[in-house]
Amino acid sequence: MHPSLNTNDRTLARRYAPVVLFDGAEPFLPSRVGCTIFREPGPSPSFPRYVRPEPPVEVVIEYALWWDWDIGHLYELEHAWVLVGGDGEVVGVESSQHGGAYGGDLRLEGGRPVLYSEPGKHALASGPHALVARGDHTEHSCGPGAGAGGVHVTPLYRDRIIRTPDDDQLVRTYLRRHAFTPRWDWSQRVQVADLPMVPWPELDAAIPGMVRARLAELDEEIPREERHVMHVGHRGASAHAPENTLAAIRKAAELGAHMVELDVRMSADGVAVLSHDSAVALPGAGSGHVPVNTLTADEMNWLTPTPETSVPTLNAALDLCEEMHLKPYLEIKEGEAVKPTMTALGGRSIGRYSVVGSFEPAWVAWATDLAPHTPTSILFGAFDAVPVALARGCGARYVHPCWKRHPAPHTLLTPEWLARVRSEGLGVVCWHEERLDVLRALLRLGLSAVCTDRLDILRDVAAELSGGSLSD
């Protein structure tokens, strides 16, 4: 493996560089390539795999393709490995798809491998069939899900690219403006050999700076009042279905929510479940209430005639969030629920898109310690609270004032208050709000997220302010 490319290696890399076919509606094409040549086995410097050139393969050429944009997030790296035999002929090609490396049928054009790129997401494959099989998921990513990932931070850049809620909001706004419907025709062609090609260490060193430059450009270009504010369904769509239930989560998705705020407690048998209150109503008029922690998860599931409106487990709720393309915003209601909540999120891809919050700073700090890369939020009700100090004390990335009882709560979000919070890289999620004039004011402030019982009203206000564009 060579950390730098001499003249012969550059010639070799260009000679075998693949041809990549893109969807006709694809808005983002790769702009440069980082190369590594393997003549002996060794770990890839840019992808989690070990590369083994073994007979009949004499050389493996690794191409790390860079995009400024994936439809889901800022920047993308996908990989192709071209396997060259001792006679100089290409004997195989492998490519990256959503974190894994896969081989496939070899198709050559002028001695170069041909690869297909997934619309928007840019996973590479040797044929279209595996990509078409993901069509429903891909089309959601390219449309309503555009920008959902914000700033992409892989383990390779975990300590070199620092993301803030403001950064994620800028990316989300930009990418929602570029949402598209794939044509599935692969009519655009990119000759990788024609792109700027550098040794991988050179591209690697440039990537954090390129990310910062894109963010600075967006910050200049997108006014605060035009930035995409996430719609958070309070306890699901609690004005339309029983709160903290699967039915409320489904209804939230139907009403255009981006996130659902859900409350987490523990059952008698140690299962994380959804409940705002410490006690739940027993079936039948006048039957009273019973503490959540005295019932098993199965017992709570039978409190109503249908599981859709009973007390669900956290895992059932997360399953449904994944199915409905919703991000969970989980409020911890008791300390015993912190570790099970973070464990449940840690085993899912949805975990990196979630937020975990609480009114208790110690629980937020514990959640942050358990999963430093899952954003956390500190909730508070006092009008004179110092949000930056609260967030610093527990490692939260969002502050969440709960001022719903104030007659004009948006007036407390003064320019000075917001500037101080944002200067510390913190996002702002606000109380659940249903008043039209207050919702209009909150959206114009460009907060990170607005929580509401009435997602239908929030959706309509957002459409009114934006003229109905997807960016809102």
In the predicted model, what is the mean pLDDT of the chain?
A: 95
Neighbours of 417 (CB within 10 A): 15
419 contact partners, CB below 8 Å, separation of at least 6: none
313 contact partners, CB below 8 Å, separation of at least 6: 271, 272, 273, 274, 297, 301
**Over 50: is that where the pLDDT of 2 sits?**
no
Q: Of all residues in the chain, what percent are helix, strand and coil, respectively (each to 5)? A: 35, 25, 40
Among left, alpha and beta (phi > 0; psi -120 to 50; other), residue 459 is: alpha
Q: What's the pLDDT band for 286 if we cut at 50, 70, 90?
A: low
Query: For the purposes of burial, counting CB atoms within 10 Å of the CB of 285, is it exposed (0-12), middle (13-18) or buried (19 or more)?
Result: exposed
Mean pLDDT across 416-427? 97
**Over 80: is that where the pLDDT of 285 sits?**
no
Query: Please, what sign has the CA dihedral across residues 303, 304, 309, 315?
Result: positive
Q: 89 phi and psi, to 5 degrees?
A: -95, 145
Q: What is the pLDDT of residue 470?
A: 45
**Over 80: is that where the pLDDT of 81 sits?**
yes
Q: What is the pLDDT of residue 288?
A: 85
**Over 60: is that where the pLDDT of 469 sits?**
no
CA gap 318, 327 in Å, rounded? 9
Mean pLDDT across 400-404? 96
The answer to whether residues 173 and 228 touch, using CB atoms and an 8 Å cutoff, is yes
Q: What percent of the chain has pLDDT over 90?
A: 91
Mean pLDDT across 189-201? 97
Lowest mean pLDDT among 51-60, 233-242, 281-290: 281-290
Q: What's the pLDDT band for 4 if we cut at 50, 70, 90?
A: low
pTM above 0.85, yes or no: yes
Q: What is the pLDDT of residue 1?
A: 41
Which residue carries 């629920």 as its tokens?
337
Q: What is the pLDDT of residue 447?
A: 97
Q: What is the pLDDT of residue 106?
A: 95
Q: Which one is predicted more confidently, 355 or 159?
A: 355
**Over 90: is that where the pLDDT of 12 sits?**
yes
The answer to whether residues 470 and 172 touch, using CB atoms and an 8 Å cutoff, is no
**Over 70: is that where the pLDDT of 232 sits?**
yes
